[in-house]
Amino acid sequence: MGGLIQSSIARKVAMALSGLFLVFFLLQHFTINLTSVFSADVFNELSHFMGTNPLVQFALQPVLIFGVLFHFIMGFVLELKNKKARAVKYAKYSGGANSSWMSRNMIYSGLVILAFLGLHFYDFWIPEMVHKYVAFAPEDPTRYYPELLHRFESPVRTGLYVVSFVFLALHLWHGFASSFQSVGFNNKYSVSATKFAKAFSIVIPLGFIIVAIVLHLTH
Ligand code: HEM
């Protein structure tokens, strides 16, 4: 029993740490995206740097991909274990009485984000990998902004992105705030940390939504 609890706590901590890492990634990703709204040149420069710097390509990118895979595989494991535990322990499980709606639906918001990542990789990452490492196409440092605009021409594509970002907000709303608890951050700053996490969960996805819509409207 002790072992079981310990390992389930370890799983929560692992989810929280990988989630916090992805939160940092989101902030960095959003900052670069935001520049596209203000200056094509700055966006091109940053994208060229991220796309060609060996440290970013061969150190940070593999760590990021590992972080994403780890978070979603552990998320499935956690969900399955919780389901199993619930079936036995909570015969009188009464939904909202012992947990919030969002906390019980992390797996579903997570699946929407996973589907979004499939589409997003198809849109950006795969063509980028093909461009660089399969076709060995010559590098044009000004190509990034026009490529970005091209991806957001379709209203359907833009709509799918916007809907996904709403689910991202829901996922972060519970996930980011509870990650502090899972890593044992429990002191006089906890209330402010939770407030910050909740604000981040709204502001960043809303920012992504605005960027997507502005890019769609830009010709
Ligand atoms: C308006 C919103 C967004 C835009 C315009 C956008 C754009 C981009 C672009 C241009 C790339 C670079 C592809 C490459 O060169 O490798 C990229 C990569 C990526 N994006 Fe986004 N993105 C958006 C939202 C998101 C969100 C919300 C997430 C996560 C939930 C996300 C996750 C990723 C990941 C994991 C990569 C791969 C990074 C890598 O190259 O290793 N993106 N995105």
Q: Is 123 in the pocket of ligand 1 (CB under 6 A)?
A: no
Contact in structure between 25 and 64 (CB atoms under 8 Å): yes
Determine, yes or no, domain membership for 105.
Answer: yes
State how many domains the chain has. 1
Determine, yes or no, domain membership for 116.
Answer: yes
Q: Is 51 in the pocket of ligand 1 (CB under 6 A)?
A: yes
pLDDT of residue 89: 54
Distance CA 22, CA 164 (A): 16
pLDDT of residue 79: 86
> In angstroms, what is the span from residue 179 Cα to ligand 1's centroid?
23
pLDDT of residue 5: 45
Measured between alpha carbons, how far is residue 1 from residues 55, 85, 144, 210 in Å? 44, 12, 54, 48
Distance CA 177, CA 200 (A): 10
Determine, yes or no, domain membership for 88.
Answer: no
Q: 196: which 2 tokens?
A: 């910050």
Per-residue pLDDT of the chain (219 residues; tens, 9 = 90+): 445 445 778 888 999 999 999 999 999 999 999 999 999 999 999 999 999 999 999 999 999 999 999 999 999 988 888 877 766 555 555 555 556 776 778 999 999 999 999 999 999 999 999 999 999 999 999 999 999 999 999 999 999 999 999 999 999 999 999 999 899 898 999 999 999 999 999 999 999 999 999 999 997
CATH number at residue 36: 1.20.1300.10
Distance CA 209, CA 164 (A): 9
Instruction: Provide the domain limits for residue 155.
Output: 2-81+101-218
Determine, yes or no, domain membership for 138.
Answer: yes
> In angstroms, what is the span from residue 120 Cα to ligand 1's centroid?
7
pLDDT of residue 83: 79
> In angstroms, what is the span from residue 129 Cα to ligand 1's centroid?
13
Q: 93: which 2 tokens?
A: 């499980």
pTM: predicted TM-score of the whole model, two decimal places: 0.90
Determine, yes or no, domain membership for 95.
Answer: no
